[in-house]
Amino acid sequence: MIPVIQEKIDNLSKPKGSLGRLESLAVQMALIQQTLHPQLKHPCHILFGGDHGIEREGVTCTPREVTAQQMMNYAGGGGAVGMFCRQHGFTLRVVDAGVDYDFDLELYPRIIDRKIAHGTRDFLYEPAMSADEWHRALAVGAEQVDVCADEGANVICLGEMGAGNTSPSSILMHLLLDIPLPDCVGAGSGLDAPGIRHKLEVLTAAVERYKKLGAFGAMDNYQLSIINRRQTESHQACLNGRGAKEEGEANYPLPIAPKAHEVARYFAGFEMAAAVGAMLRAAERRMVVMVDGFIMTACMLVASRLDSAVLDYAVFGHCGDEGGHRLMLDAMGAQPLLHLGMRLGEGTGALCAYPIVESAVRMLNDMDSFDHAHITKYF
């Protein structure tokens, strides 16, 4: 299908290739939807919240109570995420996947309660979550995407809130991409130089313990059953030899790469696991996935190691200023749309990039061709 899409783009009334990144985005949108006339419908932003045991080791200057406070703020339409969702027409869903706080859902009815536990365990000493918790968190993300898709959405943007979540993201980047840990660790929400050194010391100790323990040893039966299960022909390539299933085909489990599964289960937060599950489900349902900053890029890294087809649906919104984000994007071959010096999280960078995706789709659908505009095609 790519030659047909490219021919349409090259016949638009402009010099060949002159709209640059918009042209490759247009190709991606057309491939995702398998049409020369893609449409972006009812975009939805899902923000998952969760606390981290590692936060208690002083790896962040943000105390964990801020997670709950911000979740309540978001549920009331506050924060940058609420503002940008309103600006760009996104429906916002605020999901408690593992915040260390019991919300009064009568006061905050817009917080969706899917709490796995009151935060993960401290991965300096033990796995952040059990196998059951990992799979439950993945299911939370998939469920939330299904709700959005069933309401007509074909664009998903993902964000997070969780004090300390740059720490697991740094380790995921280090272990899955083999990038030296010091290059993966940054200031997070504002650590000074001594704070960054302490953070690196803690994360180094956690990785060393993980390696000494041999990760999890024997894998659980559920994991083995997923890994050993072959995909059917119906789950094969739809985009560039890879991609989502055809409509009506059976919902077979996605293949899970053991290393990514083990690493994420040991270090990630519940909000991160839910985001991974959301990314995988969105790809299954042929939805555009807007990827935000450092944490969400780490989640996309995990998702891509579980099923590489997910990258066909990913649009990387921006390159943030958190240490290592550019390295991770480069290692994944990702081309972010923006570089605005942002490091907020919440999904804000991806939301800011969304109008560029809209422009790419409008170019493909609304721009005159040479023939229609009665202009000589000169190449």
The 10 Å Cβ neighbour count of residue 179 is: 17
Q: What does the pLDDT read at residue 102?
A: 98
**CA–CA dist 109, 106 (Å, integer):** 5
- Among 80, 167, 154, 85, residue whose Cα is nearest residue 122: 167
The 10 Å Cβ neighbour count of residue 221 is: 9
Contact 324, 191 (CB under 8 A): no
> Percentage of residues in the chain with pLDDT exceeding 90?
83
DSSP label at 143? Answer: H
Q: pLDDT at residue 217 above 60?
A: no
Q: What does the pLDDT read at residue 215?
A: 57
Q: Average per-residue pLDDT in the chain?
A: 90
For 37-59, the pLDDT digits (tens) are: 999 999 999 999 999 999 999 99
CATH code, residues 43-353: 3.40.50.10210
Dihedral through CA 325, CA 21, CA 93, CA 161, nearest 10? Answer: 10
Q: Please list the alpha-helical segments (H only) found in 216-347.
A: 221-228, 258-267, 270-284, 294-306, 325-332
For 296-335, the pLDDT digits (tens) are: 999 999 999 999 999 999 999 999 999 899 999 999 999 9
Measured between its terminal Cα atoms, the distance across the chain in Å is 22
Strand, helix or coil for residue 361: helix
pLDDT range class, residue 293, cuts 50, 70, 90: very high
Of 142-146, 220-224, 350-354, the least confident: 220-224
Q: Enumerate the domain spans of the chain.
A: 43-353
Q: Which residues are catalytic, by number? A: 346
Strands 91-98 vs 44-50: parallel, antiparallel or unpaired: parallel
Q: What does the pLDDT read at residue 137?
A: 98
pLDDT range class, residue 233, cuts 50, 70, 90: very low
Q: Which two tokens stand for residue 273?
A: 């696991």
DSSP label at 244? Answer: P
